[in-house]
Structure 1
Amino acid sequence: MRWVVVVVVGAVLGAGCSGPPEGARPKVFRGEVSSAIYEPIASRNVDAEPLTPGEVFPKDLVSFGAAQMKRGVPVVSGNCAEAVWGSAPLAGCSQVVRAVFSEDGVSGQFAIFNMADSAAAGLLVKAFEKGAFLKVMPGQPAVDGGSAQVRALGHFVVVSWVAPVGDERPDLTEPLLALDSVSQFVQGRLLAAE
């Protein structure tokens, strides 16, 4: 009997040493690196103002077509790694701002990473494409799959991710477009830098 206990404990401890388990991720992924349009904000050196929840999330509700996604409480953190599972190049990331959004049968998350420059932002997009991704936020239903759009916009990386909740299989096109509309605030940063 004692031998069984030792084997079980050893197996549990050994499993814990192999690193973090793979987390939830979208089934449909679209990633883009920054384009020349965002050259004026290609570096945090020229766009140094930290992000605030009021800037990123000025509205409690975002919509597109019939989709209306209601925002939860925004979270701002200087520890970018706490928002990501897997191996992701986060050196130089000064902050991540994110919030949960919901609609009947759909859970979403919008996140923006404040990277050092557009090269670092592009590397993070590629990491999300190859295996790392956002952690499910506290208060967000356990989701997996769904659709995500991840874009480098100058030195920022914006992530819009929507997934079905439970057994429902709604069309995620309009919820994803609604959630991605949050990234429009970056245009204000771009215009201020030009």
Structure 2
Amino acid sequence: MRWVGVVVAGAFLGAGCSVVAGDPRPQVFRAESSSAIYEAIVSREVDPEPLAVGEVFGKDTLSFGAVQMKRGQSFVSGNCAEAVWGNPPLQGCTQVLRAVYSADGVSGQFAIFNLADSGAADRLVQAFRKDAFLKLAPGQPAIAGGSAQGRALGHYAVVSWVAAVGDEKPDLTDPLLAVDSVSQFLQTRLLKAG
């Protein structure tokens, strides 16, 4: 049921991409607060196991529709501030995992922040609306604009972001949904905690 809302929202995402000077941010951003579905992982107290790269980025290729996004480099860090610009609320963040994805004319990034609780995850996602956003990942081509969504899923904040590379004008709906599918690994955490 949850994916229906994502698909409907995705239908409104355009290909808009404008490379701008300064800190990159998406042209279209959708934010979602945590819901009761993620109550079993509402805090690190009930879900203490750190995230592992293999757990989060287990697939080399993500598909949605006709689009296949191939995973490039992935990164894990205990310094959450190095992944963002601006001054987002990162108190209690113990790790951030990011990976770069690409397809013809599109570059994307998925990031997950391991925060203390769902309130902290909600605050971080809301800060990404205007006060802060992801930095480009090492090795990612220079992009800005495009489409992104941030969601608080229990004590995790996830961000999926895709944009056109150069002068390309692809439809970004399917690439965004492909990159966002990384977050499905949290279903396993829910089952273990529940």
CA-to-aligned-CA distance 1:88-130 (integer Å, 9 cap, x gap):
0001000000010000100000000000000000000110012
Amino acid paired to 1:69:
M
Residue of structure 2 equivalent to 1:97: 97
Q: TM-score, with normalisation over the residues of structure 2?
A: 0.88
Q: Distance in 2 between matches of 1:22 and 1:35?
A: 34
Q: Distance in 2 between matches of 1:172 and 1:88?
A: 26
Q: Distance in 1 between matches of 2:26 and 2:132?
A: 11
1:79–1:96 Cα contact (<8 Å) kept: yes
Residue of structure 1 equivalent to 2:180: 180
Secondary structure at 2:183's aligned position in 1? helix
The answer to whether structure 1 residue 126 and structure 2 residue 126 are counterparts is yes
Q: State the identity as a percent.
A: 72
Q: Distance in 2 between matches of 1:151 and 1:111?
A: 11
Q: CA deviation at 1:131?
A: 2.3
Amino acid paired to 2:82:
E
Q: Distance in 2 between matches of 1:108 and 1:79?
A: 21
1:106–1:163 Cα contact (<8 Å) kept: yes
Q: Distance in 2 between matches of 1:23 and 1:34?
A: 27
CA-to-aligned-CA distance 1:44-102 (integer Å, 9 cap, x gap):
01100000110001111001001100001210000000000001000100000001000
Q: Distance in 2 between matches of 1:143 and 1:33?
A: 26
Secondary structure at 2:73's aligned position in 1? coil
Amino acid paired to 2:81:
A
The answer to whether structure 1 residue 163 and structure 2 residue 163 are counterparts is yes
Residue of structure 2 equivalent to 1:8: none
Residue of structure 2 equivalent to 1:17: none
Q: Distance in 1 between matches of 2:87 and 2:126?
A: 11
Residue of structure 2 equivalent to 1:77: 77
Q: Distance in 2 between matches of 1:131 and 1:140?
A: 22
Q: TM-score, with normalisation over the residues of structure 1?
A: 0.88
1:22–1:85 Cα contact (<8 Å) kept: no
The answer to whether structure 1 residue 87 and structure 2 residue 90 are counterparts is no
Q: Which has the higher contact order (CA 8 A, sep 6+)?
A: 2
Secondary structure at 1:170's aligned position in 2? coil
Amino acid paired to 1:190:
L
Residue of structure 2 equivalent to 1:30: 30
Q: CA deviation at 1:22?
A: 4.8
CA 45–72 in structure 1, closer or farther in 2 if over 3 Å, else same = same
Residue of structure 2 equivalent to 1:112: 112
Q: Distance in 2 between matches of 1:123 and 1:149?
A: 14
Residue of structure 1 equivalent to 2:46: 46
Aligned residue pairs: how many?
174
Q: Tell me, which stretches of 5 or more residues in structure 2 are unaligned?
A: 1-20
CA-to-aligned-CA distance 1:150-187 (integer Å, 9 cap, x gap):
00000001110000000011000000010010000011
Q: Tell me, which stretches of 5 or more residues in structure 1 are unaligned?
A: 1-20
- Structure showing greater Rg: 1
Secondary structure at 1:63's aligned position in 2? strand
Over aligned residue pairs, what C-alpha RMSD do you find? 0.9
Bigger helix fraction: 1
